[in-house]
Amino acid sequence: MEQLVIRLATAADRAAVTSLLQAQMREHHLPIEGIARGIELSLEPHSSARLLLAERGGAPVGVLLGNVIVSAEKGGHTLWIEELYVAPQARRTGVARAILQHVLDTWPELRALELEVLPDHDAAFALYDSFGFARIGRQRLTLDR
């Protein structure tokens, strides 16, 4: 199996990142209209976002979009993982695990990683449980504007 490379996405990666995130939204029956704008904002020079692309053999196989926030609860910077997606053909090959480990290794200043998981995603829960993520029993709310 070819080596997995994980790196910050650049403007040249727009198409690859867009394709991966559109695939994720389609899998979850979510709208895709805002993806391009979200990617543009993520790529701005002083953005608080972290947009990672995972490639194997030069082909995009995974993406992570996270936002660094200041957390009083955690006492420092926290990465809110908005999206973590692995293309179906690359699943169960360690891509998601490698992306998360890359985040932990690359940004040691982060006090926590936070995310949400759909209740029926057993494989995702298994991955996050293996890293030691705790289930906090809160309900996420949103107000779209």
Residue 3 has a pLDDT of: 95
Domains, the chain: 4-131 (3.40.630.30)
Residue 125 has a pLDDT of: 94
Instruction: Tell the burial category of 54 from Cβ atoms under 10 Å away from its Cβ (0-12, 13-18, 19+).
Output: buried
pTM over 0.95: no
How far is 23 from 75, CA to CA, in rounded Å?
Answer: 35
How far is 42 from 81, CA to CA, in rounded Å?
Answer: 13
* Tokens 């939204």 sit on residue: 25
Q: Could you read off the pLDDT tens digit of each residue along the chain, which spans 145 residues?
A: 799 999 999 999 999 999 999 999 999 999 999 999 999 999 999 999 999 999 999 999 999 999 999 999 999 999 999 999 999 999 999 999 999 999 999 999 999 999 999 889 999 999 999 999 999 988 888 888 8
